[in-house]
Structure 1
Amino acid sequence: MSTETTLCVSEIFHSIQGESSFAGWPCAFVRLAGCGHGCRYCDTAYAEEAGTAMTVEQIVRRALAFEAPCVEVTGGEPLLQPGAFELLSTLCDHHPAVLLETGGFLPVERVDPRVHAIIDIKAPSSGVAAENCATNFALALDTPERFEFKIVVASREDYEWAKSYIAGHDLPGKCSIIFGPVFGHLEPRLLAEWILRDRLPVRMQLQLHKYIWNPDARGV
């Protein structure tokens, strides 16, 4: 590793992966700074702060030092920083399980194909549903093993919208889709009942880290 590309980093930490199909695994997280999309239920607003400048080499060394089974680059919105693509590729050169969690506002075609991309689809209650990047769906249908989509719902209206949205983009049965409740806004039991009633082919998740630690804690 010799690259001098610099990124703004909010935090690097070791925790239990709380979301996605990798939930429950120990994971090294690299949270990049910056977003600006203004999602109403954002739980990492502190990542909007400037962060600390670090080279790709420094970031990779810090992340690999945890010796975790998986490494995730997240945000904020990590793909806002051009150096994120180099960071992801460099991590893939040194680790077999590299994850990207992105807000779903930006296209992911430049992301190294070795990366497993977890892409948010924003529901109406987020206030930014109009910004979902639909080009990511076509890419995912071509290589579904590389992608999964996550929708966080805060209400029955969000759920009905999400059900129609994924059907309209031909995702059910072809891509991994995960529904989860907005923590503190929707009772998990209700979401589970809706999914079961509709025989919806999606996976349900809870934000595991928020049940283990304080929901507002950083670095978890």
Structure 2
Amino acid sequence: MVKLKLSEIFFSLQGEGPLVGMPSLFFRLYGCNLNCSWCDTPYSREPYPFFEKEIEELVQQWKENFPQIPYVVITGGEPLLQEGAIPFLEALIANGAKPLLETNGSLPIAGLPEGVIVVMDLKPPSSNMVEFNRYENLDFLREKDAVKIVIQDRRDFEWAINLVEQADLLKKTQVFFSPAHPFLSPKELASLILETKLPLRLQVQLHKMLGLK
């Protein structure tokens, strides 16, 4: 039986990305291969505790407790570090779920099941992780997927705009810009986005605004 290491399981509104506002069941997988300067989930990696569950248990937990909720979010940490992540996604799809995978973009996404919605980070200079971006992943993103870029300052913003234009991202997938709290306010980022006259999306982490998990 394949087991996964998890940091937490919770039910909440999806606060970001293509499914924003949608009630979803979240499985936060444990472990990460990056160390972003403004990480907001440091507890999902060492030295913090984790627990293990078999894939079949997790699928049953969703089916029995949330039969009317199709959206299951697999987040981290970095879910794709675990060998069981893709079998878990496949099992969810086989049982009628609509899984969304949140990945930091440093690992290959080419082999993901067709039914998965992918939200992939691109790490800007302020993260101190920019060298881990796997740009070839952009070729596998579809219209239903998304790229998320956290913006701390104007340097990050200019880097992100250059990347969006060079990779022609707006013709491939959805693009979300998020302000890095407390360095840049949503209003400041909104002003920067409007200056570009590009169809970029401002993302403000709805769940945190509402005091939800």
Q: Quickly name the TM-score band, shorter chain normalised.
A: over 0.9
Match of residue 159 from structure 2: 161
Match of residue 199 from structure 2: 201
Shift of 1:146: 4.2
Match of residue 168 from structure 2: 170
**SS state of the match for residue 101, structure 1?**
strand
Question: Quick one: distance in 2 between partners of 1:88 and 1:212?
Answer: 29
**SS state of the match for residue 177, structure 1?**
strand
Contact 2:18-2:145 at 8 Å conserved across structures? no
**SS state of the match for residue 36, structure 1?**
coil
Identity within the alignment, %: 39
Find the partner of 1:39 among 36, 41, 44.
36
Question: Quick one: distance in 1 between partners of 2:42 and 2:62?
Answer: 22
Question: Quick one: distance in 1 between partners of 2:198 and 2:189?
Answer: 11
Tell me the number of residue pairs that the alignment of Structure 1 and Structure 2 aligns: 209
Match of residue 59 from structure 1: 58
Give the alignment's TM-score, normalised by structure 2: 0.93
| Unaligned segments of structure 1, at least 5 residues | 215-219
Question: Quick one: distance in 2 between partners of 1:168 and 1:94?
Answer: 39
Contact 2:103-2:120 at 8 Å conserved across structures? yes
Match of residue 125 from structure 1: 126
**In the TM superposition, what whole-angstrom CA distance separates every residue of 1:67-103 from its partner, at most 9, and x where no partner exists?**
4241110100000001100000101112342100001
| Unaligned segments of structure 2, at least 5 residues | none
Equivalent position amino acid for 2:7 in 1: S
Give the alignment's TM-score, normalised by structure 1: 0.91
Contact 2:122-2:148 at 8 Å conserved across structures? yes
Question: Quick one: distance in 2 between partners of 1:70 and 1:6?
Answer: 21
Question: Quick one: distance in 2 between partners of 1:23 and 1:146?
Answer: 13
Q: What is the root-mean-square deviation of aligned Cα atoms in Å?
A: 1.3
Contact 2:18-2:144 at 8 Å conserved across structures? no
Contact 1:38-1:128 at 8 Å conserved across structures? yes
Question: Quick one: distance in 2 between partners of 1:12 and 1:84?
Answer: 15
Match of residue 147 from structure 2: 149
**SS state of the match for residue 8, structure 1?**
strand
Question: Quick one: distance in 1 between partners of 2:201 and 2:19?
Answer: 12
Contact 1:6-1:56 at 8 Å conserved across structures? yes
